[in-house]
Amino acid sequence: MKTVLPFFAVVILVLFPLFGVTVAHQTEIFFGVIVPYAAMAIFVVGFLYRVAKWGKSPVPFCIPTTCGQQKSLPWIKQDKLENPSTTMQVVGRMLLEVLVFRSLFRNMKTEMKEGKAVYGSEKLLWLAGLAFHWSFLFIFVRHYRFFVQDLPSVIQMMEGVDSFFQIGAPLFYMTDAVILGAVTFLLIRRVYLPQIRYISLAADFFPLFLILAIAISGILMRYFFKVHIVAVKQLALGLVSLNPIIPEGIGAIFYVHLFLICVLLMYFPFSKLMHMGGVFLSPTRNMANNSRIVRYINPWNYPVHVHTYEEYENDFRDKMKKAGLPVEKE
């Protein structure tokens, strides 16, 4: 159920704009203008709201995960990236985490072999995750050619690298194949491995199916069912210059692609995809392990009323004397 339901949800999300623009006409304004603006607004406002809400949550303890030698005596070598004690070292560790998924690289697999638990490294998830995220970033940045008049040379260079093999026309992008392969792996992993299937929820499958559908619709649009690409850019530029237009004859598959992306944007702030912002707000990653150098004060320490012994004695001195108990002040 938790696999089938998200799958059919995505199927319906594909059929909705497909029928919208092919059967019931005049819905292009809805799918091409209203939904994209709404999606953009929900994405930006939702993202800011979620991060601000996290920012309001106090972190009671200094809890960075320590994966190496902490700062100690001068002749003991500190592992600065695995156990950072300064802000710069935290930045270094965070960069490793965000850019190359350092902590996932440590992923281990436990197996029973001859009655013993054996621990081995498990790099496939790390590799597939990295391939997926980086190809997604490349594809995302590449799409800027629809949103600016003069494409920066950096993005043109990225496109050049991506289409380096010059296969076919329009040129084949490597990232298209990589993202399909990686998402398929991540999906199969959740279905095939019993432990992972057990802990997977509909909210884990839905983004995978959605992103897979976005990638497939994009690939179909580029290589197979071509759309009127100049009109697509006119629509995109119209949206971002706040002067929306609906050019004629773009092709239904474009609206499917666009609608799925809008759904992704709208779903983003409410979902696990918020790890994009959340990774920077993880106390286990963004804190320096310096609690022995700088005292960490719990921000929700309540101003507790303290009743000292001196006050206690003042309250009960007479009674204590009568009972023969020793007092500090006579």
Partner 1 sequence: MYNSGKIIAGLVVFFFLATLPFLLNFGKANAKIEPSIDTPEINAMPKKHCVEPKAFMRSEHMQLLNNWRDQVVRNGNRIYVGSDGNEYTISLQNTCMKCHSNKKKFCDKCHNYMAVKPYCWGCHIAPKEKEA
Q: Which residues bind partner 1 (CB under 8 A)?
A: 43-44, 47-48, 51-52, 55-59, 144-145, 147-151, 156, 166, 168-170, 226-230, 233-234, 237-238, 240-243, 245, 249, 277, 280-281, 299
In the chain the first and final C-alpha atoms are separated, in Å, by: 77
Question: Cβ closer to partner 1: 109 or 143?
Answer: 143
Alpha carbon 289 to chain centroid distance?
24
Question: Cβ closer to partner 1: 68 or 170?
Answer: 170
**Is residue 306 classed as helix, strand or coil in its secondary structure?**
coil
Q: How far is the CB of 244 from partner 1 (least distance, A)?
A: 9
CA-based nearest residue to 229, from 263, 254, 206: 254
Question: Cβ closer to partner 1: 212 or 287?
Answer: 287
CA-based nearest residue to 43, from 310, 323, 271, 330: 271
With 0-12 CB in 10 A as exposed, 13-18 as middle and 19+ as buried, what is 186?
buried
Q: How far is the CB of 279 from partner 1 (least distance, A)?
A: 11
| Gap between the Cα atoms of 21 and 33, Å rounded | 13
Instruction: In the chain, count H helices and then E strands.
Output: 15, 2
Question: Cβ closer to partner 1: 233 or 317?
Answer: 233
Residue 222 DSSP one-character state: I
Question: Cβ closer to partner 1: 52 or 73?
Answer: 52
H-only helix segments in 102-152 = 102-105, 124-142
Question: Cβ closer to partner 1: 181 or 247?
Answer: 247
Q: What are phi and psi of 110, to 5 degrees?
A: -110, 130
